[in-house]
Structure 1
Amino acid sequence: MFCNKLLLTKNDRLPFYVVTEVARAIHPLNPQVAIMAVPWGNLQLDELLSMPDYDFHRVALLIDELQDAIDAVLSDEPDKKYDISWRVIEDDRPFHPQRLWDTCHRFMGAGVYRSKGFFWLPGRDDLALLWNQAAGSINLEFISYWKAGVLTHTDNSLTKEERAAIRQQLAKMPGRFGDRRCRLTVIGESGEIDDFALALRQCLLTEEEILWWQQGGIFHDPWPTKVARLA
């Protein structure tokens, strides 16, 4: 009700008819403004510059009209506190693909508001992946290749000198797997993110699983084989 343009993000994840129905449903809340669907957060500069100026006068009138309702809500919960906290999961071990999948479906409750970071999976150990979660939505995105993974590629046209330089860099890394690592930050209600963070840590490969994988073992991977590439 207080905006001069309403943006529907992540519309690329929904059928067109669903986005249209959502736009029609919320349009009566603010019939004076246009509604725009925005895939991947992309908003053209000319569209941004063409937006009308923010109508402070109309918003001030609207706030006056809603003041009684606002005061009623505040009086009902005068001392309400939001116990927002964060946890960081950091380890050089990869996540077990199936356990990570199961954890996301079992432990990611409504109190887990946001989590983001880098991680890797056995079987895709050359890929640096971005974990990007907001509420119930999770994106698996390909950022780049780990340097340790680049050395396993035979078609990247690296010279002997370049490979030697990468090996020297990796030798200085503290982790067992070169520059590969998992580092996720989880934000949400304290009680729920503790359970989710603990479950994520239990998704990391055990020492026995690492040895089995290094000897040629293959883990079942239910995650999509096609992931978004961020330029």
Structure 2
Amino acid sequence: MDTDSRTPLIMVAGIDQQQVADASEALWRQDPQGTALVHHDLRAVAGGVVSRNTRHGSQSDAHVLELAHGCVSCTLREDMLPLLRRLAERPDVRRVVVRLDIALEPETICWALRHVELDGRPLVDDIDIEAVLTTVDQRTWLRDATGDEELVERGMGGSADDERTVAQVAVGQVEFADAIVLAGAAEDRWTRSRTEAVLARLAPSAPWGTRDDIARLLAEIPDYARRGEVDGPHGRLLRGQPPLETDAGVTTLLFEERRPFHPQRLHEAIDVLLEGVVRTRGRIWVATRPDDALWIESAGGGLGVGHAGPWLAAQGDWSGIADERRLRAALNWDDHYGDRAQELVVIAHEADPSEIAQALLRALLTDDELAAGRQSWAGYDDPFAEFHRDPCESSGARELDESEMGGNQ
């Protein structure tokens, strides 16, 4: 018997404002008297102004918020989260639909729902994340997901210092989706096939369909879907069962090695994860940093490197470590290296995966370097010793913060 009394919440994301609005409206129309539709418009957030619209039944409320600090996190903390709790407590609200601003990534919002406390408890005590839907324009999505245009260049940035690219947002929104709402029509069969091949690898368990199919899409979301669960940098790199064979030139490379990277050679090879690549995600071990795992993530022409916390082999106390991580480490434990390893998943649409693998293999320590030991490794020049806010022009790398990686557990 289902005794969950929490209010279901569905989140709708995407980089086309009208398509996100259309999908959200379709959800609201399923039960307009019982559904609250919420939207925070962040186009003027840099100036400290956010427009909030709430719709429930025949009632529609438009409110302009003036924030002391014009940022997305302030909007979340000061208005969105308190509003969602108020709606969840109303007996006449049977479901909440959150129409995300196009610059928002659902992973960040779901992390906040699970971890940010209001009055001593998180929002998931009152709200059940039923599904995350992402809209995809078949005409333009693949081009956006493989480009290097920044959000601010397109007028989509949440603030003037928002350095994210359109590709990073577009790919992240799809990757986190439980279902995908397709819109528009690809200009030709090849574009459609390539777009579908990429979607199948980014979100292999997510059903697809148009906004007219939303009821079916929700019903077809599998029981094992993430539904707002945030993996973090030590979580699973592959969810579901993505195709491993090449389709329309799109392929998935899983790169796994035990020996560490030489920091300088890795820095020189890092462009291989940008050219002709849709997505890279994974954990890396650099010889000069034996205790620290680094998280590397790319989408289109944007790439970031961030701190992913210590390897388990460098920790004496595992009491705060998630069971899944401890189990995975135990299954793959090496007597000498512990859980230290290279684990990268690369989705390429134009690049040759064998060339990517060879470039990464050349960046690993040689047998002679490995035999020289840690004392010798410590003397290597290390471009990763300090993460770059203003990175090398050639790599396009940038630092990822904790919210983008979903925390360190």
- In the superposition, the TM-score normalised over structure 1's length comes to 0.59
Which residue does the alignment assign to 1:211?
Answer: 371
Which residue does the alignment assign to 2:158?
Answer: 37
Which residue does the alignment assign to 1:3?
Answer: 20
Q: Does 1:83 align with 2:249?
A: yes
| CA distance, structure 2, for counterparts of residue 75 and residue 142 of structure 1 | 41
How many matched pairs?
172
- Give the deviation of 1:198 after TM superposition: 1.5
| CA distance, structure 2, for counterparts of residue 104 and residue 212 of structure 1 | 25
Which residue does the alignment assign to 1:74?
Answer: 188
Runs of 4+ aligned structure 1 residues displaced above 6 Å come to: 38-42, 75-81
- Give the deviation of 1:214 after TM superposition: 2.8
Give the superposed CA RMSD: 4.0
The structure in which a higher percent of residues are helix is 1
Q: Does 1:179 align with 2:343?
A: no
- 8 Å contact from structure 1 (residues 89, 201) kept in 2: no
Q: Give, as a single letter, the amino acid of the residue that structure 1 aligns with 2:248.
A: Y
Shift of the 210–9 alpha-carbon distance from structure 1 to 2, 3 Å rule, reads farther
Gaps of 5+ in 1: 11-17, 24-34, 43-59, 64-69, 159-165
Q: How does 1:129-208 map to 2 (within 5 A)?
A: 129-150=294-315, 173-174=333-334, 176-189=336-349, 191-208=351-368
Q: How does 1:54-133 map to 2 (within 5 A)?
A: 73-74=187-188, 82-105=248-271, 107-133=272-298
Gaps of 5+ in 2: 1-17, 22-99, 106-149, 170-182, 195-246, 320-325, 388-398
Q: Percent identity?
A: 23
| CA distance, structure 2, for counterparts of residue 121 and residue 208 of structure 1 | 16
User: 2:158 is paired with a residue of what secondary structure?
Assistant: strand
- Give the deviation of 1:92 after TM superposition: 1.3
Q: Does 1:221 align with 2:382?
A: yes
| CA distance, structure 2, for counterparts of residue 224 and residue 201 of structure 1 | 21
Q: Give, as a single letter, the amino acid of the residue that structure 1 aligns with 2:315.
A: V
Shift of the 191–136 alpha-carbon distance from structure 1 to 2, 3 Å rule, reads closer
| CA distance, structure 1, for counterparts of residue 256 and residue 189 of structure 2 | 42
> Structure 1 stretch 126-135 or stretch 207-216: which is displaced more?
207-216
User: 2:334 is paired with a residue of what secondary structure?
Assistant: coil
- In the superposition, the TM-score normalised over structure 2's length comes to 0.35
Shift of the 213–36 alpha-carbon distance from structure 1 to 2, 3 Å rule, reads same
Which structure is richer in relative contact order (CA contacts within 8 A, separation 6 or more)? Answer: 1
Shift of the 132–19 alpha-carbon distance from structure 1 to 2, 3 Å rule, reads closer
User: 1:225 is paired with a residue of what secondary structure?
Assistant: coil
Q: Which has the larger radius of gyration?
A: 1
Shift of the 82–145 alpha-carbon distance from structure 1 to 2, 3 Å rule, reads same
| CA distance, structure 1, for counterparts of residue 292 and residue 275 of structure 2 | 30
Q: Give, as a single letter, the amino acid of the residue that structure 1 aligns with 2:260.
A: P
Q: Give, as a single letter, the amino acid of the residue that structure 2 aligns with 1:3.
A: V
- Give the deviation of 1:200 after TM superposition: 0.8
| CA distance, structure 2, for counterparts of residue 120 and residue 188 of structure 1 | 22
Q: How does 1:20-35 map to 2 (within 5 A)?
A: 20-23=152-155
- 8 Å contact from structure 2 (residues 151, 157) kept in 1: no
